């Protein structure tokens, strides 16, 4: 059993930019040489989130639409006044979706479905350079 | 320390069918003989999700009602046109709830509350045969 | 590699009381002496949830507002009639947010951002004494 800590860097446009990070996670997994275990993917920061989707353009646009509807960007949040950066909606969306995703692997392969990709969503209201932690635990 | 990979199979009716999988997870845990660790439960596929609830009929119906309200099935999503299978709402619900749940165990027992069960929700719009991964890590 | 099981106790006011538990988790991590691994934080019970936020008063109030809007406490849920304790909304909020959060650590430090704190939200409709499990796995 071993722990391997890796990072991936992601440049985003913000505003619910949805990035498919599956290949980056898979590539790091290959290099760990671990056969069986889990990878915990974790967003450093409080305006990004993680989940899985079937990554195709229509669904990507549906996801953006969903967050626009549930937590609109064009209404005022108390947090908008705290630092004057008007990203209250970004924080709320990130907290609801969550910063952490744990994915099993077996035989050095992620146990994803064929039409299931791991996505990072940058909810901030501007472009960002993000660092995401990959904590592999396995044997 | 060891990793034990298991699967459970679930036949669902789709349409936000909510299945209590606690006993199946518990039964697999017993057989691992691991005392302390975590089990990561992971849905293979992008139209199912996991969480915990107090599993009783009224709350099961409330959960269905919640997803009907937040992400209605009777409106059009862009994804509905992609494959013609009209399950855009299923994908959005699954991505929001998330495909992964990690539960600790101690003394070979899940650390759940008395009125807290692990549920799989099949958001797809038809019956499905599902495979869920259980990745146990512990000692 | 080792597993260390810890608990933290939290007294809450209920009604979406939002508690920053970062220092308690960090303090338990320090004492484990583990360098690298993950901690799975898990709510025992079905009316509390976990996520991360920038913990500042305006955002704390925005989070409460978000759940009031998505899952109002002043409408009837089927579960309200089950035990007569009128906390259907508490269960729905907890299930949507989720009971489990896995956070990596590296060099005995949680990999959180500077403005990212771990919060427990007690969605129940009364004050509660809560026990949260911390399952550390690492080396």
CATH number of the domain residue C68 falls in:
2.60.120.460
Residue spans of alpha helices (H) in C4-132: 22-32, 57-70, 80-83, 88-97
pLDDT in tens, B21-56: 999 999 999 999 999 999 999 999 999 999 999 999
Residue A87 resides in a domain: yes
CA B27 to each of CA A82, B105, B112, B134, C100: distance values in angstroms, whole numbers, following the listed order: 50, 13, 14, 11, 21
d(CA A89, CA C24): 28
Which pLDDT does position A16 carry in this prediction?
A: 97
Residue C83, pLDDT score:
87
Rounded Cα distance between B15 and B93, Å, is 11
Instruction: Pick from B72, B86, B99, B132 the residue to mutate for testing the A interface (most A CBs within 10 Å).
Output: B99
DSSP C135: E
Residue C135 has a pLDDT of 98
Could you write out the DSSP letters of every residue in C112-134?
A: --TT-EEEEEE-SSS-EEEEEEE
A108, part of any domain:
yes
Number of structural domains chain C divides into: 1
pTM (2 decimals)?
A: 0.98
C17-20, strands of its sheet edge to edge: C17-20, C117-122, C48-53
Report the residue of chain A nearest B91, measured CA to CA: A53
All residues of chain C having their beta carbon less than 8 Å from the beta carbon of residue A135 are 36-38, 104, 106, 111
Cβ pair C50, C97 in contact under 8 A: yes
**For chain B, what is the total number of helices (H) and then of strands (E)?**
4, 8
Tell me the average pLDDT across C109-132.
98
How sure is the predictor about A120, in pLDDT bands with cuts at 50, 70 and 90? very high
Interface of A with C (CB under 8 A): 1-3, 5, 40, 42, 44-46, 70-71, 77-79, 81-82, 88, 91-92, 94-96, 98-100, 102, 133, 135, 137
- d(Cα B115, Cα C139) in Å, to the nearest integer? 34
Mean pLDDT, residues C50-78: 97
Question: Chain B residues with CB inside 8 Å of A61's CB?
Answer: 78
pLDDT in tens, B52-88: 999 999 999 999 999 999 999 999 999 999 888 899 9
- Owning domain of residue B86: 2-138
- Chain C residues lying within 8 Å of A70, measured CB to CB: 70
How open is the CA angle B89-B90-B95, to the nearest 5 degrees? Answer: 100
Interface of B with C (CB under 8 A): 1, 36-38, 51-54, 56, 58-59, 61-63, 65-66, 70, 96-98, 101-104, 106, 111-113, 115-116, 137-139
Residue C109 structure tokens: 């430090």
Beta strands in chain A (DSSP E): 2-12, 17-20, 37-43, 48-53, 100-106, 109-110, 117-122, 128-138
């Amino acid at each position: 059993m071993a722990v391997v800590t890796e990072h991936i860097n992601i440049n985003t446009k913000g505003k619910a930019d949805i990035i498919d990070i599956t290949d980056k996670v898979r590539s790091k997994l290959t290099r760990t040489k671990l056969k069986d275990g889990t990878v915990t993917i974790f967003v450093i920061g409080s305006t990004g989130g993680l989940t899985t989707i079937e990554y195709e353009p229509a669904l990507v646009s549906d996801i953006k639409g969903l967050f626009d509807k549930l937590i609109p960007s064009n209404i005022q949040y108390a947090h908008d006044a705290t630092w004057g950066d008007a990203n209250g909606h970004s924080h709320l969306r990130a907290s609801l979706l969550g910063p952490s995703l744990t994915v099993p692997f077996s035989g050095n392969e992620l146990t994803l479905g064929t039409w299931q990709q791991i996505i990072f969503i940058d909810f901030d209201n501007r472009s960002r350079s993000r660092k995401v932690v990959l904590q592999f635990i396995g044997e």
